[in-house]
Structure 1
């Protein structure tokens, strides 16, 4: 669900900022894709039950889509923080958006625990 995950996360983020339904143009801008490609993906997400999509109105998250979006958002937040605070990337949020649906929940959980720990990242605490 790699490409689909990026769209689902974008919809989740836009819903948090605004209300539903989310306009396809706003989603396209968020993921940096064309409106045509976005419409195609919205139709796919709709057929998979993640969103309810109505042409010319926009997309609304289904309960399953909202739950998956929340999980992606938590990973996105962790990655964004890592890219910003540790790697000092300027495009930390965009990088996080692209990777949120790719890394496993285990990696995201361990990365979050590492960011919250008091020891510097990469330092073995058993020394």
Structure 2
């Protein structure tokens, strides 16, 4: 998964667990990144209209960011199931994470339908 998808999924998960706005330090810890690198990426996400960043308060997903994060989370969960149940990979979550940003929603939906058959 590329950096933007990883950040969106992490922010979404942190919002769900701890509320919004999410401190940028929490995002940095979740992703194993430095605070400065995290702030730079969050500012990039803000420029793309995916988050609202309030200095010293934290970051929140915009409606478009929420939609994108939900789509990516669904793809990640589908790929986890595929990598675990079909490919029987030991580190299935890491492999699913690497693939998530590369798989379109159409492919994820069709893969999910195939897994449910």
The equivalent residue for 2:64 is 64
Structure 2: distance between partners of 1:114 and 1:47: 37
**Structure 1 residues 86-95 or 61-70, which shifts more?**
86-95
Structure 1 residue runs of 5 or longer lacking an equivalent are: 118-127
> Which of structure 1's runs of 4+ aligned residues deviate more than 4 A?
none
Q: Secondary structure at the match of 1:102?
A: coil
TM-score (norm 2): 0.86
Matches for 1:110-121 after TM superposition, within 5 Å: 110-117=110-117
The equivalent residue for 1:8 is 8
**Structure 1 residues 86-95 or 31-40, which shifts more?**
86-95
CA RMSD, 1 decimal = 1.9
Structure 2: distance between partners of 1:13 and 1:95: 19
Structure label with greater radius of gyration: 1
The equivalent residue for 2:98 is 98
Kindly provide the CA deviation profile for residues 44-98 of structure 1, in whole angstroms up to 9, marking residues without a partner as x: 0011110001122211011111111111111011012222222333433333233
Structure with higher RCO (Cα < 8 A, 6+ apart): 2
The equivalent residue for 2:44 is 44
Q: Secondary structure at the match of 1:53?
A: strand
Structure 1: distance between partners of 2:74 and 2:52: 22
Is 1:9–1:97's contact at 8 Å kept on the other side of the alignment? no
Residues 95, 13 of structure 1: CA spacing in aligned structure 2 closer, same or farther, 3 A cutoff?
A: farther
Matches for 1:79-90 after TM superposition, within 5 Å: 79-90=79-90
The equivalent residue for 1:123 is none
Structure 2 residue runs of 5 or longer lacking an equivalent are: none
Q: How many residues align structurally? A: 117
TM-score (norm 1): 0.80
